[in-house]
Amino acid sequence: MADEQPVIGTPRLRGGVRRIGFLSLILLFRAGGQAQVPAEFHWVDFKGEPAIVSTVEHALKAEHYTAVREIGIRGEFALVMVVRRDSAQDTPLGDQWTVYNLSMKSGSLRTLISGYNLNIKTWIRFQSKGETDLAVVYMDCWECEPASLFTALHYNPREGWRARWTNEKAPNQPGIVFLITDVGDPYTNEDVDQVFAVFARQGEVASTGTWYHSRDLGSGKVTDTVSKFYVDPVTGKDKSVDLTGQAATQWERQLCRPKGSPYGLYQGQSSQGCKRLLGTERKASK
């Protein structure tokens, strides 16, 4: 296994990788071996289940979209993924994706995600007594300098689907920002490393982390933002905490060693920040 597999890759239904400025994003292998699909969930067969497709299309009649890409059914709710394509697009790569929660009983529709280059990854367990969530990554814009986000689609029998780690400033773009492309040369006068991983030991619940490390090229000032994201085991609410001191250093080390990720969702481990951190650790152990 290579020491780094960036998490943005080819969407579930289409091929190709988009090159963003100086950054080329490589296909992530699908680590499906650890996934457990929840009971009573299935992806709809568009030809074999025309009644479900018709119900979904009726619910979408007021929405602006080009095609329905995926429908997942569990209980009385559907997880619906559509794309909208501009007539001037030369390829499908610029499609805008929208993910909805749809009540198959009432027909009510709620937007969960709106973004680009959406990738369905795998099912991940964030709660010991709960079902697995569907992990996805996506970009917040197109033909720009996008941010990449990770989120997990969680199911509740009473309310249906929701996306974890809400975004108050942009409600339709929830999740954890793990890659920003408009920092460092030529955008800002700093060296920047961005490290991200989703991991859990076998049989344990997953947690997610990011490490944003920057050094101002003028003043030499170093800034570290180390964050951990998880689900509260008692309340089931999504949580995040910024770490400092020894706790931050320990979390940085864990993030820089993606071997602890059974899901293959990690990025930035070959960065200079990780190399310096692990190199210093090796020297200290001698």
Distances 170 to 49, 82, 113, 120, 140 between C-alpha atoms, Å:
34, 19, 10, 21, 10
In this prediction, residue 20 carries a pLDDT of 34
In this prediction, residue 28 carries a pLDDT of 39
pLDDT of the chain, 286 residues: tens digit per residue: 333 444 544 333 322 323 333 233 333 333 444 568 998 999 999 999 999 999 999 999 999 999 999 999 999 999 999 999 998 888 899 999 999 999 999 999 999 999 999 999 999 999 988 889 999 999 999 999 999 999 999 999 999 999 999 999 999 999 999 999 999 888 999 999 999 999 877 778 999 999 999 999 999 999 999 999 999 999 999 999 999 999 999 999 999 997 767 778 999 999 999 999 998 665 555 4
In this prediction, residue 39 carries a pLDDT of 86
In this prediction, residue 26 carries a pLDDT of 32
Q: In what order do the strands lie in the sheet with 190-199?
A: 238-243, 222-231, 207-216, 190-199, 266-267
In this prediction, residue 30 carries a pLDDT of 37
Contacts 24+ apart (CB under 8 A), 89-93: 91/16, 92/14, 93/14, 93/16, 93/18, 93/117
Residue 178 structure tokens: 């793990």
Strands 41-43, 23-24: pairing kind:
unpaired
In this prediction, residue 115 carries a pLDDT of 98
In this prediction, residue 281 carries a pLDDT of 61
Q: Per-residue b/e over 122-144, b at no fewer than 16 CB within 10 Å?
A: bbbbbbeebbbbbbbbbbbebee
Query: How many other C-beta atoms lie within 10 A of the C-beta of residue 74?
Result: 18
DSSP symbols for 9-37: ---TT-----EETTEEPPPPP--GGG--P
In this prediction, residue 204 carries a pLDDT of 82
In this prediction, residue 282 carries a pLDDT of 57
Q: How far apart are CA 82 and CA 68, in angstroms?
A: 4
In this prediction, residue 18 carries a pLDDT of 31
In this prediction, residue 113 carries a pLDDT of 98
Residue 165 structure tokens: 């780690």
Question: What is the pTM assigned to this prediction?
Answer: 0.87
Distances 138 to 114, 116, 178, 212 between C-alpha atoms, Å:
9, 6, 10, 19
